[in-house]
Chain A
Amino acid sequence: MPSPMTASGKKRRAQDNKDMAEEKKVLIEFKDVCKKYNQGENEFYALRDANLTIDEGEMVVILGPSGAGKSTLLNLLGGMDSASSGHIYFDGEDLTTFSDNMLTKYRAENVGVVFQFYNLIPTLTAYENVALMKDIKSGTTDPKEALTAVGLERHMHQFPSQLSGGEQQRTSIARAIAKNPRLLLCDEPTGALDTDTGKEVLKLLQDMSRNKKRTVVMVTHNSFFADIADTVIRVKNGGIRSIDHNEHPKDADEVNW
């Protein structure tokens, strides 16, 4: 089950891309999605008329400067916020018609989130943070297995405060993947990490998409990350500026920033 990156990665990747092209399936579709906030008397659009599609198993990077609307996009994808207008389809179902409870269920069943500041529960150990997922979904991966997958089996019983930033982020990823979500959302997952640790985390995420066939959506302001994605969505001033597809995404090791 664990599959750290190896030299044989390249060869496999070509094969994967071919497979994907054959059975491309749309997982997410945004149709004219707007999100506006009322600040006093002023209306403020965090997102305006967004249209996009994300295929299952893709690795997507949402790129843009701070305040551009990328986090809003991510929140809407994850059912953590609701759109002001437009439609968001997940596997054909319109999230904008969901009630609070249905959204909660959607998050519990389908979405895994990795936060910039990890957001682990400080009073629970790494193992317990992952085991927490058993409380909300049945059929989760065994916590030990999930932590081994991110290379943390040795620090499993330590509290977040005893772990380094990278270890905490890996715990957070383990927590996200333990649910076996169809959609893995990452908000600046390397934002609080140094380059080397960041790379390891990126590798892990890329692996999720390539080998585990999970859809990974990552938000970042770091344009170097565009190279590793299958699809790059560029956002600015609350609007989608461009959507590009990489024919040959780089390996995470090859990126430098």
Chain B
Amino acid sequence: MLIRKMWRDLMKNKTQFISIFLMSFLGMFVFVGIDTESSGGSQCVSSYYAKYNLSDLWVMGAGFSDDDVKLASKVKGVKQVERRLALTGTAEKYDNAYMYVNYLEKNNINSLMLCEGEPFDPDRDGVWLESWFADSNGIKVGDRFSVKVDSTRTDAIVRGLVEAPDYVYFVSESDMMYPNYKKCGAAFMSPVMYPDPENIIYNQLIIDVYDEYSGDDSVGIIKKKLEKRFDRDDIAVTDRDQNLSYATFDAEMKQHGAMGVMFAVVFVAIALLGIVTTMARVTAGQRIQIGTMKALGFSKTAITMHYVSYGFIISALGCISGAYVGYLVMPAWILGMFEGAYLIPGLKGAMTGRSIAVTAAAVLVSTLVSFLSCRKELKDPPAITLKPPAPKKVRHSGLEKSRLWLRLDFSTQWNIRDVMRNKLRSLMGILGVMGCAMLLVCGFGCFDSINGLIDKMYGELMTASNKIVLSADADADYAYDLSVLYKGQMIEEKSVEFVSDTAKKSGSATIVDKGNFIHIQDSRLKPLKLTDRGIAMTSKMAGLLGLKEGDRVRWHIVGDDKWQYSRIEQIYRDPSVQGITMKRNVFEEMEYTFCPTAVLTNKSVDPVLTEEDEISSILNIEAMKAAFSETMEIMNAMVYVMVLAAVLLGVVVLYNLGVLSFVEKTREVATLKVLGFSSSKIRRILQKQNLWLTVIGIAVGIWAGWEMLYVICTTVSDTLDMFPILYFPTYVWSIGGTFLVSIGVNFMFSGKVKNIDMVDALKGVE
């Protein structure tokens, strides 16, 4: 019978229980959704890596002989070693797409997963292409594909479309911070396809270690041993964490995990507060019933179990269904967005022990919370519980004793007292508003920060309105003539690899000629002048390499074996391009030839110019801005989730709060009505308190949103150095949006003031 009673009570208080249900649902939906997504992603990628045998170590150098392979194989723990020649080139036919070109001597490590066509054979002619690139460019098996490396073109039949475990994530030149696999691809060929197969010089060793040596420590030891064995200046040994493809996805998953935790904490905390306040009200409202049950001879345990089961059932329903739906929906949705960003086949979510544990814990805590809130009504003997509760002990707060108090009008006094006496309810209101404002600020802040970043990149740091990108056919003289013609500035942009004692990173080098279109800013975003002494490095890159101003860094231009060992003269901050910048004279002092890759100008450029062989494209600043915004799609999706969650959260919490406080105040409101207060006056009194709580919630929420934005901006990726920015409209939107939700919900309740029947409300309890 008690179970029937419970269901009917739940139905009777359905608004509140539904809101608890929704809050637990949302909390678990977000947490489990993101947790299963990030774990699923990690699991899928690990099994993909395991199946296709991702290399554990990479050794890069000028050239590796057969003896070098033997040398590496002899290191304890090394299972197998393969050689390959990794170059970069362009596929001219496909909008000059940037190509990673690999000649593979064997293919047991980083083995290619066949999507279409015939499997890779290291002795067969033809080319195997990364399948996303091929698909988006409409290349089919059997087509001819030509790639230009330096000045040599290689033309071959496409034998197969493949995915490679070491090409899960890759970007073209360093100024592309977000992958675009239409404009950047990977090609794999047999060494027989090399223009001069007899004299091929392999520049990479890829190393697979035995499973029992695959722990981080053992790999570290093997890495050190390899470095010692080779004892050459021109080599760099890197592990998976230093590998862009591996590390980017890994970081992405970790970041999602962290965000999931943040969301979940907010939602679960609010759900718990909701349970506390609701259960306290339900049990207080059923005081006489509890007394009756006690008088009838129900044991304390039976009554406790009865009321605890309310909290248990609702939170269990909410949490478990939230977890399940989250598991079904979120991974599919977010991992779906990874398509085109990460080339991992068969990504899907995976239920984790942690998700199950957190769900169980949330149910447990909710149950505990309802236990604590109903215990209060159970401690007295039935004779006491059967009577209406003794009025709350009222103590005058310091404020009420002060002179100021007397000057306040009635509605202020009434509201202050009400807030002080219902601290938990007020706290919950503030938290709900805070969560709403926080998510809105953070969500809109992400947009702002992206826009701010774009404005900084194209407008502050690069001030030219057009960028004429030169092709490999253009020589220095051509560039010079162009720069004179357009009053432009010549720059050279190169991909570079940096090696420090602790890390190896790829980035870019920008070499600037005389001119005034490229600017750098120090870490406090104050303008900085490039020195003539040496190189300047971005603070993000320096941080990743563990270096600071005055340290030395080892680096080389990708495709050039000459290594430099330079002192970092300046540290500057750049949002999107991580690497180094130097003046032309510094570059030339290192005995490089300055060979411009682009000319920057403020003059309008005749589009006909692109037809010249020497010019690959003309980039307009607006087009660059637009192209960049497009790349932030995953970020945008996260923002939508946040804004949606914010509004839902705000409505659910405030509605629950509204029900609670309205029900509790019914008698008081009826009394006021009897005394002759008009409905609109009473409504104003009620709204005043709401206004206070909303204002406090918003103030705290803006701060919390800023903190959350900061975390997101600083962890977003290795290549982006985002700074959190909030523009004025964001404040307006966030504050306005929160107010709208808060006032809207409260209007619904204060509208009910009119409908309160004085006589009914003042009749006895029950």
Q: Do A and B interact?
A: yes
Residues of A within 8 A of B (CB): 71-72, 75, 78, 80-82, 100-101, 104-109, 111, 113, 115, 117, 119, 121-124, 128-129, 131-137, 175, 179
Q: Is B195 an interface residue (CB 8 A)?
A: no
**Residue contacts A-B, CB under 8 angstroms, 17 given:** A80-B294, A80-B386, A81-B381, A81-B383, A100-B300, A104-B299, A107-B297, A115-B292, A117-B764, A117-B766, A119-B288, A121-B5, A121-B292, A123-B5, A129-B1, A135-B298, A136-B298
Most chain B CB atoms below 10 A, which of A101, A104, A106: A104
Nearest Cβ distance between residue B632 and chain A, in whole angstroms?
53
Q: How far, in whole Å, are A136 and B302 apart by their CA atoms in the complex?
A: 9
**Contacts A75-B383, A107-B294, A136-B296 supplied; 12 other A-B pairs, CB < 8 Å:** A78-B382, A80-B386, A81-B383, A100-B300, A105-B299, A107-B382, A119-B292, A123-B4, A124-B1, A128-B4, A134-B1, A136-B298
Q: How far, in whole Å, are A101 and B302 apart by their CA atoms in the complex?
A: 12
Q: In chain B, what residue has the closest Cβ to A172?
A: B292
B1 contacts A104, C-beta separation under 8 Å: no
Q: Is B2 an interface residue (CB 8 A)?
A: yes
Q: Is B295 an interface residue (CB 8 A)?
A: yes
A123 contacts B295, C-beta separation under 8 Å: no
Q: How far, in whole Å, are A78 and B1 apart by their CA atoms in the complex?
A: 24
Nearest Cβ distance between residue B353 and chain A, in whole angstroms?
38
Nearest Cβ distance between residue B763 and chain A, in whole angstroms?
12
Q: How far, in whole Å, are A121 and B377 apart by their CA atoms in the complex?
A: 17
Q: How far, in whole Å, are A94 and B758 apart by their CA atoms in the complex?
A: 49
Which secondary structure dominates where chain B touches chain A?
helix
B296 contacts A133, C-beta separation under 8 Å: yes
For residues 264 through 301 of chain B, which have their beta carbon under 8 Å from a beta carbon of chain A?
288-289, 291-300
Name B296's contact: one of A71, A106, A108, A131 (CB within 8 Å): A108
A104 contacts B298, C-beta separation under 8 Å: yes
Nearest Cβ distance between residue A77 and chain B, in whole angstroms?
11
B296 contacts A113, C-beta separation under 8 Å: yes
Nearest Cβ distance between residue A8 and chain B, in whole angstroms?
34
Residues from chain B with a CB closer than 8 A to the CB of A100 are 300
Q: In chain A, what residue has the closest Cβ to B11?
A: A123
Nearest Cβ distance between residue B582 and chain A, in whole angstroms?
79
Which secondary structure dominates where chain A touches chain B?
helix
Residues of B within 8 A of A (CB): 1-2, 4-5, 8-9, 12, 288-289, 291-300, 302, 381-384, 386, 764, 766
Q: How far, in whole Å, are A204 and B175 apart by their CA atoms in the complex?
A: 94
Residues from chain A with a CB closer than 8 A to the CB of B384 are 81
A135 contacts B1, C-beta separation under 8 Å: yes
With A75-B383, A81-B382, A121-B292 as given contacts, are A104 and B5 in contact (CB-CB < 8 Å)? no
Nearest Cβ distance between residue B151 and chain A, in whole angstroms?
86
Most chain A CB atoms below 10 A, which of B12, B293, B294, B383: B383
A132 contacts B2, C-beta separation under 8 Å: yes
Nearest Cβ distance between residue B283 and chain A, in whole angstroms?
14
Q: In chain B, what residue has the closest Cβ to A106?
A: B297
With A80-B383, A135-B1 as given contacts, are A123 and B296 in contact (CB-CB < 8 Å)? no
Q: In chain A, what residue has the closest Cβ to B382?
A: A80
Q: In chain B, what residue has the closest Cβ to A71?
A: B383
B292 contacts A123, C-beta separation under 8 Å: no
Nearest Cβ distance between residue A148 and chain B, in whole angstroms?
19
Nearest Cβ distance between residue A61 and chain B, in whole angstroms?
20
Nearest Cβ distance between residue B757 and chain A, in whole angstroms?
16
Q: How far, in whole Å, are A119 and B385 apart by their CA atoms in the complex?
A: 12
Residues from chain A with a CB closer than 8 A to the CB of B764 are 117
Residues from chain B with a CB closer than 8 A to the CB of A72 are 383
With A80-B383, A82-B381, A111-B297 as given contacts, are A122 and B766 in contact (CB-CB < 8 Å)? yes
Name A135's contact: one of B288, B302, B381 (CB within 8 Å): B302
Q: In chain A, what residue has the closest Cβ to B384?
A: A81
Residues from chain B with a CB closer than 8 A to the CB of A129 are 1
A123 contacts B299, C-beta separation under 8 Å: no
Q: How far, in whole Å, are A71 and B382 apart by their CA atoms in the complex?
A: 12
Nearest Cβ distance between residue A219 and chain B, in whole angstroms?
13
B386 contacts A107, C-beta separation under 8 Å: no
A109 contacts B292, C-beta separation under 8 Å: no
Residues from chain B with a CB closer than 8 A to the CB of A75 are 381-383
Residues from chain B with a CB closer than 8 A to the CB of A128 are 1, 4-5
A137 contacts B297, C-beta separation under 8 Å: yes
Q: How far, in whole Å, are A71 and B384 apart by their CA atoms in the complex?
A: 11
Q: In chain B, what residue has the closest Cβ to A192?
A: B764
Q: In chain A, what residue has the closest Cβ to B3?
A: A135
A101 contacts B299, C-beta separation under 8 Å: yes
A135 contacts B2, C-beta separation under 8 Å: yes
Q: In chain B, what residue has the closest Cβ to A103?
A: B381
Q: In chain B, what residue has the closest Cβ to A81?
A: B383
Q: How far, in whole Å, are A136 and B1 apart by their CA atoms in the complex?
A: 11
